Amino acid sequence: MLLDDGLIKLNELKEVLKACMEENGMQFKNVQLDQLTQVLYDDALDSSNQRNSHADGIRYEQLKAQMMKIPGLLENLSVRYNNI
């Protein structure tokens, strides 16, 4: 059973990044995707001083703040939903 605890788990972040990359025609090797996911996740935790809660996940606000440090990243990692 999946609980909606408001936290983004590492594997959830990886799936989102993978979908965004595929949508935008980017191709990464699995190891590269794993590394990118881990770096973004770890940096979001480090910047929020919540490193001890690594297993629980990160909050949306933590991830957004981390991604906003890289100009243009959020715009380039958008998933388009045409049938919603």
Indicate whether 30 belongs to any domain: yes
Task: Say yes or no to pLDDT of 84 above 80.
Answer: no
pLDDT per position as a tens digit, 17-69: 898 888 888 888 999 999 999 998 998 887 765 555 545 888 888 888 887 88
Task: Say yes or no to pLDDT of 78 above 50.
Answer: yes
Total domains in the fold of the chain: 1
Structural domain boundaries, residue 16? 7-73
Indicate whether 46 belongs to any domain: yes
Q: 59 φ, ψ to 5°?
A: -85, 155
More confident residue, 78 or 65: 65
Indicate whether 81 belongs to any domain: no
Burial of residue 66 (number of CB atoms within 10 Å: 0-12, 13-18, 19+): buried
Indicate whether 20 belongs to any domain: yes
Indicate whether 62 belongs to any domain: yes
**CA neighbor of 64 nearest in space, from 47, 81, 52:** 47
Indicate whether 68 belongs to any domain: yes
